[in-house]
């Protein structure tokens, strides 16, 4: 018994999903035939597609027992499937035996003999707006298909049309891909070449195989000589003899027209129209020539890369087939050569950038301005293949020679001043702010000491060095050989110049900063020494007044004297910090490193600060390990660092201070943690700078110089340790850590 319609529909959805799951045409056709058999509870399912000739050809079958089904072709206007295809409607036969009895020709068909069927139905298969074939279902017993079966098979044919559309589209894409691959394969060997020269040689090699009786030449316009054509590759024979020859495009009008117009030009009187022909052969005139443009506009300003030329003796024109081969081959090799040239330009740019990076690295190794200038000139002369380099400072309307480098040790005049207005190339470079190429010097306008150095110069490159929009200096490179500078040279020189001007600025800023630092250190040292003497006198007199040496002081003097003593102590601390900072800068602080126990240093620091802590109502908690924590350091300097940390913890606390001092043994270090103000993220490192102070108007003023943490970090670093701010939370406190090298 057949399944109910709902069960059939459920099965149909499952089957149709599998049917459209493949993009392979043969797999899709097989899935359609099987789906038709399953959904219609038939014995055989088949799908026929329209052939190029009128008729339907079996493309998929399922359930058949006869090999006669394979390759089965149904003639036009005959049979059940053709009726369904022509009428665009379903066609049914309740008992095929009646058709065989009425048509004797059917009884002789092999498929009828070997695979007798009784009931059959066929429906058309649509694809987009057209029909592509039919689906036929067959039963071996008389069990006619009804309208419900027709509905299901029509529904299946809609899905089959979608599946076939996907498979056909995928197949068309595959065919297109195959054609493209075949096209690419014709020039694949050219694309595999690694250099421009190899690509050009491969072009003429392939050209000689394509057109064995035609000579071929590849001519290229050099990037630094836009009016010349240089032959870089040629087929064997007289064409190969032209390699390296240079021709003026202003005289070779045909080649020039090809480069400008971008279209092939053929000539049958080439020997008369172009001077190239006379230089090519020593006998037979080259009258037939076809020139094809190569490449597109290039980044260096060239409108075309060059020309691909085909040449043949005599006036016999090229055939249409030859022209087709030449032009198609030209289009393909044009892309390959253009790509190779772009790669060559890229490599050249990469090399220039690498050179600039090397120069920058070399220049960055020194912060001495005179040494930087010397390195700039040496590297520029080396990289630019020059014989001489001079760097001149722009000072108002004049240039002043800063330094020079000459491979032949010829002299220049350091400090020589010359008006820019009297130097045409210099004036152009400064005014345009662009590098300028020039020729010989007019030695008649040059001082006699320089005449010998500059008389033999044949080519120059003048490069302005620009900083903040202003030309601050000019570098002039010279060659004494007849090898002019070109545009690519200027690009490299400008890169070097840019690096040089930055290096010079950094060196001069560093020199200025050093001068300022030295002046500050000298001032601090002088101020500290000059203040210490009067301070000692003041402190002495205060002490004598307090102990009665100068007579008994009035009772109401007690408070002022205590204030004087307190402020004298503050001033003594300030002077001490100034002196230490000055000695740190000068590198004159002595260090007596030795083995010491961090616990002892921390305990001693707590003892020293305890009187102040008691006055402030502070609590200091110590957490020390039971075993010694031995480090290699200077006990006095470690004590100075810990004093600074503890005093800061007491000074910058809001409310009664609470300070915890912890000594760790695993990695020798001391932590000082407070519950004070804390600092912001921006201030974490700035607090270690010289004279940096945190001024918060909402909190009481804390006296000091802003040198304590700076001195402490410097001392820690010079003992091989580190002082860091490990943790800080604004309003909740900070933790400072002093790490020192362990004893190994």
- Per-residue pLDDT at 620 exceeds 50: yes
- Per-residue pLDDT at 566 exceeds 80: no
- Per-residue pLDDT at 1 exceeds 50: no
* 114-167 pLDDT per residue, tens: 888 889 999 999 987 789 999 999 999 999 999 988 988 998 888 888 888 888
**What string of H, E and C letters represents the secondary structure of 248-280?**
ECCCCHHHHHHHHHCCCEEECCHHHHCHHHHHH
Mean pLDDT of the chain: 79
CB atoms within 10 A of CB 606: 17
As a whole number, mean pLDDT of residues 506-531 equals 63
**In the structure, what pLDDT confidence band is assigned to residue 6 with cuts at 50, 70 and 90?**
low
**In the structure, what pLDDT confidence band is assigned to residue 274 with cuts at 50, 70 and 90?**
low
pLDDT of amino acid 590 = 76
pLDDT of amino acid 537 = 65
> Which DSSP helix (H) or strand (E) runs through 402?
strand 398-406
Asked if CATH classification 3.40.50.880 holds for the domain at 5-178, the reply, yes or no, is no
- Per-residue pLDDT at 20 exceeds 60: no
- Per-residue pLDDT at 108 exceeds 60: no
pLDDT of amino acid 659 = 93
Pick the more confident residue, 422 or 624.
624
DSSP 400-466: EEEEEEETT-----TT-EEEGGG-HHHHHHHHH-S-EEE----GGGS-HHHHHHHTT--EEEEEEEE
- Residue 111, phi then psi, degrees to nearest 5: -65, -30
* 201-240 pLDDT per residue, tens: 888 888 887 788 889 999 998 876 778 888 989 988 888 8
- Per-residue pLDDT at 90 exceeds 90: yes
pLDDT of amino acid 213 = 83
* 634-660 pLDDT per residue, tens: 999 999 899 989 988 888 877 788 999
pLDDT of amino acid 739 = 94
Residue intervals of the chain classified under CATH 3.30.565.10 are 594-739
Paired with 671 in beta bridges are: 662, 737
As a whole number, mean pLDDT of residues 472-494 equals 80
- Per-residue pLDDT at 183 exceeds 50: no
Pick the more confident residue, 92 or 378.
92
User: 78 Cβ partners below 8 Å, 6+ apart?
Assistant: none
Residue intervals of the chain classified under CATH 3.30.450.40 are 5-178, 190-347, 364-588
Q: Among residues of the chain, what percentage have pLDDT more than 90?
A: 18
Q: How is domain 364-588 classified at the CATH fold level?
A: Beta-Lactamase (3.30.450)
* 602-612 pLDDT per residue, tens: 999 999 888 88
- Per-residue pLDDT at 182 exceeds 50: no
- Pick the range with the lowest mean pLDDT from 205-209, 446-450, 458-462, 546-550: 446-450
pLDDT of amino acid 268 = 83
As a whole number, mean pLDDT of residues 248-273 equals 84
**In the structure, what pLDDT confidence band is assigned to residue 355 with cuts at 50, 70 and 90?**
low
Pick the more confident residue, 53 or 91.
91
**In the structure, what pLDDT confidence band is assigned to residue 671 with cuts at 50, 70 and 90?**
very high
CA distance 597 to 599: 5
Report the DSSP pairing between strands 658-664 and 619-623: parallel
As a whole number, mean pLDDT of residues 422-449 equals 79
As a whole number, mean pLDDT of residues 478-488 equals 79
Contact assessment for residue 167 and residue 314, using Cβ atoms and an 8 Å cutoff: no
Contact assessment for residue 45 and residue 35, using Cβ atoms and an 8 Å cutoff: yes
> Which DSSP helix (H) or strand (E) runs through 597?
strand 594-597
CA nearest to 294, candidates 206, 386, 390, 229: 229
pLDDT of amino acid 624 = 94
Q: Give pTM, 2 decimals.
A: 0.40
Question: Which class does domain 190-347 fall in?
Answer: alpha beta
Q: How is domain 594-739 classified at the CATH fold level?
A: Heat Shock Protein 90 (3.30.565)
- Per-residue pLDDT at 193 exceeds 60: no
* 117-130 pLDDT per residue, tens: 889 999 999 987 78
CA distance 708 to 578: 10
Could you tell me how many residues make up the chain?
744
As a whole number, mean pLDDT of residues 505-512 equals 67
Q: Write the burial class of residue 462 (CB in 10 Å: 0-12 exposed, 13-18 middle, 19+ buried).
A: buried
User: 674 Cβ partners below 8 Å, 6+ apart?
Assistant: 648, 649, 652, 653, 657, 658, 659, 660, 733, 734, 735
Pick the more confident residue, 487 or 601.
601
Residue 690 DSSP code: T
Residue with tokens 């020079």: 404
pLDDT of amino acid 179 = 37
Pick the more confident residue, 610 or 511.
610
**In the structure, what pLDDT confidence band is assigned to residue 188 with cuts at 50, 70 and 90?**
low
What strands lie across the sheet with 228-234, from one edge to the other?
246-248, 228-234, 215-220, 306-312, 288-294, 265-267
**In the structure, what pLDDT confidence band is assigned to residue 186 with cuts at 50, 70 and 90?**
very low
């Amino acid at each position: 018994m057949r399944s109910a319609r709902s069960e059939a529909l459920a099965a149909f959805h499952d089957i149709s999903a599998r049917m459209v799951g493949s993009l392979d045409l043969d797999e899709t056709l097989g899935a359609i035939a099987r789906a038709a058999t399953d959904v219609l509870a038939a014995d055989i399912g088949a799908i026929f597609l329209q052939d190029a000739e009128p008729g339907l050809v079996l493309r998929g079958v399922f359930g058949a027992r006869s090999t006669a089904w394979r390759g089965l072709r149904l003639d036009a206007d005959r049979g059940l499937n053709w009726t369904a295809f022509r009428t665009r409607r379903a066609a049914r036969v309740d008992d095929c035996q009646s058709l065989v009895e009425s048509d004797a020709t059917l009884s002789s068909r092999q498929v009828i003999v070997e695979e007798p069927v009784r009931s059959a139905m066929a429906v058309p298969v649509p694809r987009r707006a057209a029909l592509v074939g039919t689906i036929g279902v067959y039963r071996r017993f008389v069990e006619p298909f009804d309208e419900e079966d027709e509905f299901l098979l029509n529904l299946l044919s809609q899905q089959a049309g979608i599946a076939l559309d996907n498979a056909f589209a995928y197949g068309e894409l595959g065919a297109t891909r195959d054609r493209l691959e075949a096209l690419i394969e014709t020039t694949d060997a050219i694309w595999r070449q690694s250099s421009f020269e190899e690509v050009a040689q491969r072009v003429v090699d392939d050209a000689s195989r394509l057109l064995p009786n035609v000579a071929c030449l590849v001519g290229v316009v050099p990037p630094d000589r836009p009016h010349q054509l240089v032959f870089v590759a040629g087929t064997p024979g007289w064409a190969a003899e032209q390699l390296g020859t240079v021709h003026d495009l202003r005289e070779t009008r045909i080649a020039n027209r090809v480069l400008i117009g971008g279209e092939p030009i053929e000539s049958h009187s080439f020997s008369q129209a172009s001077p190239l022909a006379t230089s090519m052969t020593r006998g037979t005139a080259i009258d037939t020539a076809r020139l094809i443009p190569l490449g597109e506009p290039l980044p260096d300003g060239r409108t075309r890369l060059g020309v691909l030329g085909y040449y043949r003796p005599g006036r016999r024109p090229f055939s249409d087939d030859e022209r087709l081969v030449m032009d198609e081959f030209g289009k393909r090799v044009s892309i390959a050569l253009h790509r190779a040239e772009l790669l060559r330009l890229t490599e050249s740019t990469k090399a220039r950038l690498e050179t600039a990076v090397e120069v920058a690295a070399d220049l960055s190794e020194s912060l001495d301005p005179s040494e930087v200038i010397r390195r700039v000139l040496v590297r520029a002369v080396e990289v630019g293949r020059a014989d001489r380099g001079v760097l001149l400072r722009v000072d108002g309307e004049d240039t002043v020679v800063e330094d020079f480098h000459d491979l032949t040790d010829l002299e220049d005049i350091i400090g020589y001043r010359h008006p820019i207005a009297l130097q045409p190339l210099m004036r152009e470079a400064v005014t345009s702010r662009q590098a300028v190429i020039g020729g010989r010097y007019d030695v008649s306008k040059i001082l006699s000491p320089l005449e010998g150095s500059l008389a033999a110069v044949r080519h120059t490159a003048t490069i302005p060095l620009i900083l903040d929009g202003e030309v601050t200096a000019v570098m002039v490179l010279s060659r004494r050989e007849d090898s002019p500078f070109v545009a690519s040279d200027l690009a490299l020189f400008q890169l070097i110049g840019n690096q040089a001007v930055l290096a010079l600025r950094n060196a001069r800023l560093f020199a200025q900063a050093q001068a300022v630092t030295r002046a500050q250190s000298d001032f601090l040292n002088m101020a500290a020494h000059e203040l210490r003497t009067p301070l000692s006198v003041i402190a002495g007199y205060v002490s004598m007044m307090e102990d009665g040496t100068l007579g008994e002081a009035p009772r109401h003097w007690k408070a002022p004297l205590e204030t004087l003593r307190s402020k004298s102590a503050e001033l003594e601390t300030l002077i001490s910090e100034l002196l230490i900072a000055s000695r740190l800068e000068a590198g004159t602080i002595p260090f007596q490193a030795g083995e010491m126990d961090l616990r002892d240093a921390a305990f001693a620091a707590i003892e020293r600060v305890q009187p102040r802590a008691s006055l402030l109502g502070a609590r200091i908690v110590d957490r020390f390990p039971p075993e010694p924590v031995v480090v290699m350091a200077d006990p006095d300097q470690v004590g100075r660092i810990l004093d600074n940390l503890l005093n800061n913890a007491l000074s910058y606390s809001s409310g009664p201070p609470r300070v915890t001092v912890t000594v760790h043994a695993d990695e020798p270090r001391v932590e000082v943690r407070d519950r004070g103000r804390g600092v912001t993220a921006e201030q974490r490192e700035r607090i270690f700078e010289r004279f940096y102070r945190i001024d918060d108007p909402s909190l009481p003023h804390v006296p000091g110089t802003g040198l304590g943490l700076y001195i402490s970090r410097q001392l820690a670093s010079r003992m091989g340790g580190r002082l860091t701010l490990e943790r800080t939370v604004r309003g909740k406190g900070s933790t400072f850590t002093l790490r020192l090298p362990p004893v190994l």
